[in-house]
Protein backbone atom coordinates (compact mmCIF):
# COMPACT_ATOMS: atom_id res chain seq x y z
CA UNK A 1 0.00 0.00 0.00
CA UNK A 2 2.91 2.35 0.60
CA UNK A 3 4.05 1.89 -3.01
CA UNK A 4 0.52 2.57 -4.29
CA UNK A 5 0.38 5.69 -2.13
CA UNK A 6 3.83 6.83 -3.30
CA UNK A 7 3.24 6.21 -7.01
CA UNK A 8 -0.39 7.37 -7.01
CA UNK A 9 0.52 11.04 -6.96
CA UNK A 10 0.07 13.59 -9.76
CA UNK A 11 3.55 13.29 -11.40
CA UNK A 12 2.85 9.67 -12.33
CA UNK A 13 -0.59 10.61 -13.69
CA UNK A 14 0.87 13.46 -15.73
CA UNK A 15 3.61 11.17 -17.10
CA UNK A 16 1.00 8.58 -18.11
CA UNK A 17 -1.18 11.27 -19.67
CA UNK A 18 1.75 12.64 -21.68
CA UNK A 19 2.70 9.15 -22.90
CA UNK A 20 -0.91 8.49 -23.95
CA UNK A 21 -1.09 11.92 -25.59
CA UNK A 22 2.08 11.11 -27.54
CA UNK A 23 0.74 7.73 -28.65
CA UNK A 24 -2.54 9.28 -29.79
CA UNK A 25 -0.63 11.95 -31.71
CA UNK A 26 1.57 9.29 -33.32
CA UNK A 27 -1.51 7.22 -34.25
CA UNK A 28 -3.27 10.31 -35.62
CA UNK A 29 -6.35 10.13 -33.37
CA UNK A 30 -7.66 13.64 -32.72
CA UNK A 31 -10.48 12.35 -30.52
CA UNK A 32 -8.14 10.48 -28.18
CA UNK A 33 -5.68 13.37 -28.20
CA UNK A 34 -8.50 15.60 -26.92
CA UNK A 35 -9.53 13.06 -24.31
CA UNK A 36 -5.99 12.65 -22.98
CA UNK A 37 -5.50 16.43 -22.96
CA UNK A 38 -8.76 16.77 -21.02
CA UNK A 39 -7.54 14.14 -18.54
CA UNK A 40 -4.34 16.14 -17.96
CA UNK A 41 -6.28 19.39 -17.51
CA UNK A 42 -8.70 17.75 -15.06
CA UNK A 43 -5.81 16.27 -13.06
CA UNK A 44 -4.16 19.69 -12.79
CA UNK A 45 -7.37 21.52 -11.85
CA UNK A 46 -8.28 18.95 -9.21
CA UNK A 47 -4.79 19.08 -7.75
CA UNK A 48 -4.84 22.88 -7.51
CA UNK A 49 -8.35 22.86 -6.04
CA UNK A 50 -7.47 20.23 -3.45
CA UNK A 51 -4.31 22.13 -2.48
CA UNK A 52 -6.24 25.36 -1.95
CA UNK A 53 -8.81 23.62 0.25
CA UNK A 54 -6.05 21.82 2.20
CA UNK A 55 -4.33 25.06 3.11
CA UNK A 56 -7.60 26.77 3.99
CA UNK A 57 -8.94 24.04 6.27
CA UNK A 58 -5.81 23.00 8.15
CA UNK A 59 -7.12 19.59 9.16
CA UNK A 60 -4.56 17.47 10.99
CA UNK A 61 -3.53 14.12 9.56
CA UNK A 62 -4.44 10.94 11.44
CA UNK A 63 -0.81 10.32 12.41
CA UNK A 64 -0.38 13.76 14.05
CA UNK A 65 -0.42 13.53 17.84
CA UNK A 66 -2.74 16.44 18.52
CA UNK A 67 -6.39 17.11 18.98
CA UNK A 68 -8.24 16.06 15.88
CA UNK A 69 -9.98 18.92 14.26
CA UNK A 70 -9.98 21.79 11.87
CA UNK A 71 -7.28 24.31 12.64
CA UNK A 72 -7.76 27.03 10.05
CA UNK A 73 -5.24 28.00 7.39
CA UNK A 74 -1.93 26.15 7.74
CA UNK A 75 0.98 25.55 5.38
CA UNK A 76 2.45 22.63 7.30
CA UNK A 77 1.96 19.25 5.60
CA UNK A 78 1.02 17.83 9.00
CA UNK A 79 -2.15 19.93 8.85
CA UNK A 80 -3.06 19.39 5.20
CA UNK A 81 -5.23 16.31 5.39
CA UNK A 82 -8.52 17.49 3.89
CA UNK A 83 -8.93 16.70 1.03
CA UNK A 84 -6.52 14.07 -0.28
CA UNK A 85 -4.61 15.53 -3.22
CA UNK A 86 -3.65 12.06 -4.45
CA UNK A 87 -7.29 10.98 -4.55
CA UNK A 88 -8.58 14.21 -6.10
CA UNK A 89 -6.04 14.19 -8.94
CA UNK A 90 -6.42 10.48 -9.67
CA UNK A 91 -10.21 10.61 -9.58
CA UNK A 92 -10.31 13.62 -11.90
CA UNK A 93 -7.85 11.95 -14.29
CA UNK A 94 -9.70 8.64 -14.62
CA UNK A 95 -13.25 10.00 -14.22
CA UNK A 96 -12.59 12.24 -17.24
CA UNK A 97 -11.76 9.12 -19.22
CA UNK A 98 -14.92 7.43 -17.95
CA UNK A 99 -17.10 10.44 -18.82
CA UNK A 100 -15.56 10.69 -22.29
CA UNK A 101 -15.69 6.95 -23.02
CA UNK A 102 -17.50 4.84 -20.44
CA UNK A 103 -16.66 1.57 -22.18
CA UNK A 104 -12.92 2.26 -21.94
CA UNK A 105 -12.78 4.24 -18.71
CA UNK A 106 -15.09 2.38 -16.33
CA UNK A 107 -12.53 -0.26 -15.38
CA UNK A 108 -9.89 2.34 -14.65
CA UNK A 109 -12.02 3.86 -11.88
CA UNK A 110 -10.63 1.13 -9.62
CA UNK A 111 -7.28 2.96 -9.62
CA UNK A 112 -8.48 6.05 -7.70
CA UNK A 113 -10.31 3.74 -5.27
CA UNK A 114 -7.09 1.84 -4.63
CA UNK A 115 -5.17 5.09 -4.18
CA UNK A 116 -7.81 6.41 -1.76
CA UNK A 117 -7.63 3.20 0.27
CA UNK A 118 -3.83 3.33 0.31
CA UNK A 119 -3.87 6.91 1.63
CA UNK A 120 -6.03 5.80 4.56
CA UNK A 121 -3.95 2.65 5.07
CA UNK A 122 -0.70 4.63 5.47
CA UNK A 123 -2.50 6.95 7.95
CA UNK A 124 -2.17 10.04 5.76
CA UNK A 125 -5.93 10.68 5.53
CA UNK A 126 -9.27 10.08 7.18
CA UNK A 127 -12.19 8.55 5.27
CA UNK A 128 -13.82 11.97 4.94
CA UNK A 129 -10.61 13.32 3.35
CA UNK A 130 -10.69 10.80 0.52
CA UNK A 131 -14.47 11.05 0.05
CA UNK A 132 -14.23 14.84 -0.18
CA UNK A 133 -11.34 14.50 -2.62
CA UNK A 134 -13.25 12.02 -4.77
CA UNK A 135 -16.15 14.48 -4.96
CA UNK A 136 -13.77 17.24 -6.03
CA UNK A 137 -12.25 14.91 -8.63
CA UNK A 138 -15.59 13.86 -10.08
CA UNK A 139 -16.82 17.46 -10.14
CA UNK A 140 -13.72 18.68 -11.94
CA UNK A 141 -13.85 15.74 -14.37
CA UNK A 142 -17.49 16.50 -15.15
CA UNK A 143 -16.72 20.19 -15.69
CA UNK A 144 -13.76 19.49 -17.98
CA UNK A 145 -15.64 16.82 -19.91
CA UNK A 146 -18.54 19.21 -20.48
CA UNK A 147 -16.12 21.81 -21.84
CA UNK A 148 -14.59 19.24 -24.23
CA UNK A 149 -17.79 17.27 -24.90
CA UNK A 150 -18.64 19.07 -28.11
CA UNK A 151 -15.22 18.25 -29.52
CA UNK A 152 -15.61 14.56 -28.58
CA UNK A 153 -19.04 14.40 -30.23
CA UNK A 154 -17.89 16.11 -33.42
CA UNK A 155 -15.19 13.51 -33.87
CA UNK A 156 -17.58 10.63 -33.17
CA UNK A 157 -20.14 11.92 -35.67
CA UNK A 158 -17.45 12.57 -38.30
CA UNK A 159 -16.17 9.00 -37.91
CA UNK A 160 -19.58 7.48 -38.73
Q: What pLDDT, in 10s, does the model give residues 35-72?
A: 999 999 999 999 999 888 888 887 777 776 665 555 66
pLDDT at 8 (0 to 100): 79
Contact 43, 10 (CB under 8 A): yes
State yes or no: cis peptide before 83, omega within 30 of 0: yes
Question: Backbone phi, then psi, for 17, in 5-degree steps?
Answer: -60, -40
pTM of the predicted structure, to 2 decimals = 0.82
Residue ranges of the chain whose pLDDT lies below 50: 154-160
- The Cα 123–Cα 140 span in angstroms is 26
- Per domain, the residue ranges of the chain are 2-159
pLDDT at 1: 80
- Cα 31 versus chain centre, distance: 21
At residue 159, the pLDDT reads 46
Residue of 59, 111, 108 whose CA lies nearest to 82: 59
pLDDT number for residue 83: 87
Amino acid sequence: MQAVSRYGDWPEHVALGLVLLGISYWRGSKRWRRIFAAMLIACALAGVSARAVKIATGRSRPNVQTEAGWNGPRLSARYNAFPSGHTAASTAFFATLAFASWRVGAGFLAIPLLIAFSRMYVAAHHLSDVVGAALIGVGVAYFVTQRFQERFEIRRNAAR
